[in-house]
Structure 1
Amino acid sequence: MNLDRMFQAGLGLAILGVVWAVWPQPGLGAYTWQNRFRRSAYHRGPAVLIDRGHWNRSVPDPRFEGLLQMLTWDGYQVARNRQDLVPELLRTTRVLVIPNALGWKGVLQPLVGKVGLRLHPQAFSVAEVEAVRDWVHGGGSLLLIADRAPAAEASQALAGEFGVRLVDGGESTVPFSRDGGLGDDAIANGRPEEGEEVEYAVSFSGGKLWGPPGSMTFLKEQGVAFESGRGRVVALTAQLAGPQGRSTDNRQLMLNIMHWLSRR
């Protein structure tokens, strides 16, 4: 084999590795389009910005397309962003959603990890971390999702600014109920007069997290919420799976998260 063919073969393997890393994983839909079970929360609601500019693993995933549809149906003004997170962009945003930001090193990590190498991915620049931190402290709301390795490691610099520790984990299905794992707080309870209580939820995959003192832990070791300055933060290390055997309140839980972040 000559050098040109060796180079082409190596490049082909690298591309296959990248595709494998970002391709949607098999499994149940996290947020299916079955959301017309009550009236929308908003007529023309707050601006929600979905980050897609940091090699987000969820970008091509139809499960998160379902999330976008659900938020749009609930009245949020949803936009997608591929730019750096700068103050000028965040200024017009009420809720910033960052799902599984990997950075380019995080995309390659599953490939090079097979030969024992670690790239220590960092999805965000120092300037972006500072911009998001200052924006939240000034009144913005952040939903940070890191449910597939190495998203927790890649997002730790940002999470750490708010006192959150993220740890990557493997694939598992975890049930949460009032008898175990599900919190008794503003997110799990929602607005009882509107029938928003969450009784049973199921998460799939993900790692663990720990929030700062005083956090609401609405999902044990997988979901926390807290005030930060004048803003609010929710961190998740679990994908909310679809119904498994019995009906779940996963969609209601996600809506409660967004309503809390947008101060509904």
Structure 2
Amino acid sequence: MKSVCKTIFLGLSLVAVMSCSDSDQQADPDFVPKNIKKTFSQSNSPMVFIDEAHNNFLTKNGRYKPFAQVLSSDGYTVKSSSEKFTLAYLQQANILVVANALDKNRRDWTPPFTNAFNSSEVEAVKQWVIQGGSLFLVADHTPFPKVIENLSSAFGFEFSNGHVRDALFRIDDKSLAEHSITQGDSQSERITQVKSFGGSAFQIPAKAQPLLTLGKRATSIVPKVPFQINAKTPRVSMNGWHQGAVLEVGEGRVAVFSEGMMFSSQFVASTGKKYGLESNGAEQNEQFLLNVMHWLSQ
């Protein structure tokens, strides 16, 4: 998810955010998935819950509508999830999508930030995954990594609570990993490039497999208050950190990403400019999303 900001760049290091309005971002009303082949039929359709019970910035009928459209085009049953997490509730789903949860219904980005999920919810999600559920977790730029920290750390993922720039991940430079997800089930499903649109980054646990790995030039700007950035704001190298990875836990699976726009198509109302699935360089992002979903469905 690319934060739509007016910025001033002074040299290569100074970024001053003059104004920022995420409310200006909307789902692309003209988006149509490229996928025309359904993997699943009505009789074997996996149930996907998209979390909307935690003040999520990305929702099924909101900014993640194109995400839901891509899944529906492949035969998934996609539903909004408006209940707090319990093991009994989660057992109704095959895949849980948690995308940019927040600790409360915020009108600004003023700290402090607290957990979006209570300890009982985190335990319910972990037990559900161990028993065979699949989690698709997205936490974008600050403050989103901070508010889901207890959930991500329960699976061993450590986020940087900052901002990184857009990135291209390619097979030829190994920033995009060779994995069953990138190989696909046929030549038409093979992924050679994925584009992200900012976000954050994370370190992975020992048993996780990286998908998207940042290179030597990648840095994270880490402000105390989101979007309040000046020359003194810390810059931290993200070389070797990740924007996508997967992990098998018990009988279940987890896919973690630190950028959400790469799986949606959104436009800025004030300019009409589009970002995400229909952007130059992101031509394979839709198939990459489907391949991730197929891996989670196994």
- TM-score (norm. length: structure 1): 0.81
> What SS does the aligned partner of 1:252 have?
helix
Aligned to 2:176: 182
Residue of structure 2 aligned with 1:156, choices 138, 149, 152 = 149
> What SS does the aligned partner of 2:64 have?
helix
Aligned to 2:140: 147
Aligned to 1:15: none
Aligned residues: 234
- Give 1:172 shift: 2.1
Aligned to 1:76: 76
By percentage of residues, which structure has more helix?
1
When residues 60 and 171 of structure 1 are mapped into structure 2, their CA distance, relative to the original with a 3 A threshold, is farther
Mapped to 2, the partners of 1:32 and 1:190 lie a distance apart of 28
Of all paired residues, the percent bearing the same amino acid is 29
Mapped to 2, the partners of 1:194 and 1:179 lie a distance apart of 16
Aligned to 1:13: none
When residues 258 and 43 of structure 1 are mapped into structure 2, their CA distance, relative to the original with a 3 A threshold, is same
Mapped to 1, the partners of 2:122 and 2:196 lie a distance apart of 28
Are the counterparts in 1 of residues 168 and 193 from structure 2 also a CA contact under 8 Å? yes
> What SS does the aligned partner of 1:260 have?
helix
Unpaired runs of 5+ in structure 2? 1-19, 214-241, 263-275
By percentage of residues, which structure has more strand?
2
Aligned to 1:59: 59
- Give 1:72 shift: 1.1
Aligned to 2:295: 260
- Give 1:149 shift: 2.1
Structure of higher RCO (CA pairs closer than 8 Å, 6+ residues apart): 2
When residues 195 and 209 of structure 1 are mapped into structure 2, their CA distance, relative to the original with a 3 A threshold, is same
Amino acid at match of 1:212: P
Mapped to 1, the partners of 2:30 and 2:288 lie a distance apart of 13
Deviation digits for residues 2-34 of structure 1 (CA, Å, limit 9, x no counterpart):
xxxxxxxxxxxxxxxxxx8762537x96x9833
> What SS does the aligned partner of 1:195 have?
helix
- Give 1:245 shift: 3.4
Confirm or deny that 1:40 pairs with 2:38: yes
Residue of structure 2 aligned with 1:138, choices 101, 120, 131 = 131
Aligned to 2:234: none
Q: Give the aligned CA root-mean-square deviation in angstroms.
A: 2.4
Mapped to 2, the partners of 1:183 and 1:151 lie a distance apart of 25
